[in-house]
Amino acid sequence: MDRFEVVGGAAVTDSQGSALRSDRNVVLQRTLGSAVSCTGQALHSGAEVSMVLHPAPVDHGIVFQRTDIPGPDGRIPASWDNVVNTSFCTVIGNRSGATVSTIEHLMAALAGCGVDNVLIQIDGSELPVMDGSAAPFVFLVECAGTVAQDAPRRALKIKRRVTVEADGKRVELTPARDFQINFRIEFDGTIGRQDYVFGGASGAFKAELSRARTFTFAGEIEQLHAAGLALGGSLDNAVVIEGDRVLNDGGLRYADECVRHKVLDCLGDLYTVGGPIIGHYHGLRAGHGMTNRLLKALFADPANYEWVDQREPAARQPVLTAVPNTPPLRAELGLKLAASA
């Protein structure tokens, strides 16, 4: 069973007297209030892996550290230009050859919870899949809480339309005054065509997207296994579709769970830019590879974007405090929380 633990030690606390705090329109960077850990099975390798999320200082960003690889050779910033593979998941790597795969669900949770700075220590090459959604990672962040830091949050403002098309797929970023993901998927059978628009308002990620699980088709599982993929997959961590039937007990969590999960993945992949985006994303039959190609096209020309201080009403910024060890939430996620004394 997947396990959670809030790690003991000094929590990060808000600094006092910052001039930035007097300006309610400036959104501040945020980190975790304390370290928190989880253990679970990796989706593709099937290995048991442990992961610890630590608070990190201003401008640290989201960085993975392989604890099984000593020193800087195991350090991998979660950046779009460190993406080395996008087949079935997003994989990042460094010049030393170290990689971490299936980062998109955790990245989506960090984006949805407004976490800017975190050090993620992991003892293997792939993140635990948990229940196949981002909800367990949101729970991790809620258990740790988040705190504001004394630096403005930087946002990537889209200044010009950027489009990538290939093989009947299309992705696009367009200038806008806010953030939005517009996504369409098209499959045969029970999924069909599904559309979803995600606006990114405070709390929307947890309510609308976080519980949407990864999905696959029963007829593809043997092929995936032959390729060394989905070895840890099961009905406990993925939606499996066979013809017009959903094989999971209880069926889907949402009628349009598949497109919601695609939006979840997209949000996680977009967060590899290093902050929130001010602009609209449009995706048609897209996936990890197309989104990363779009980011490469975006950053290829500095006229396409600019970095700005994020400014919005403070009430819209997610603010998470540590949550009690509530049985209903534990039961829903199938998790065990052990708070340190």
Summarised one tens digit per residue, pLDDT across range 203-248 is 899 999 999 999 988 888 777 777 777 777 788 888 999 988 999 9
Confidence of residue 10 (pLDDT cuts 50, 70, 90): very low
Q: Mind spelling out the 3-state secondary structure of 81-102?
A: HHEEECCCCCEEECCCCCEEEC
pLDDT at res. 315: 41
Write out pLDDT tens, residues 65-97.
999 999 999 999 999 999 999 998 999 999 999
| Rounded average pLDDT over 147-155 | 97
Write out pLDDT tens, residues 271-317.
999 999 999 999 999 999 999 999 999 999 999 999 999 987 434 44
Q: Exactly one of 54, 105, 261, 288 is catalytic; which is it? A: 288
Q: What is the pTM of this model?
A: 0.86
Active site residue 288: yes
CB 158 within 8 A of CB 174: yes
Q: What percent of the chain clears pLDDT 70, i.e. is strictly above it?
A: 84
Confidence of residue 201 (pLDDT cuts 50, 70, 90): confident
Task: Please determine, for residue 249, whether its predicted confidence score (pLDDT) is greater than 80.
Answer: yes
| Cβ burial, residue 212 (10 Å; 0-12/13-18/19+) | buried
pLDDT at res. 108: 98
Task: Please determine, for residue 336, whether its predicted confidence score (pLDDT) is greater than 90.
Answer: no
CB 214 within 8 A of CB 132: yes
* Structure tokens given for 220: 């593809």
Which one is predicted more confidently, 15 or 123? 123
Task: Please determine, for residue 270, whether its predicted confidence score (pLDDT) is greater than 50.
Answer: yes
pLDDT at res. 337: 40
**In this structure, what DSSP letter does residue 120 have?**
E
Nearest to 27 by CA among 306, 308, 310: 310
Taken in order of first residue, the domains within the chain and their CATH numbers are 3-153+312-339 (3.30.230.20), 156-309 (3.30.1700.10)
Task: Please determine, for residue 340, whether its predicted confidence score (pLDDT) is greater than 90.
Answer: no
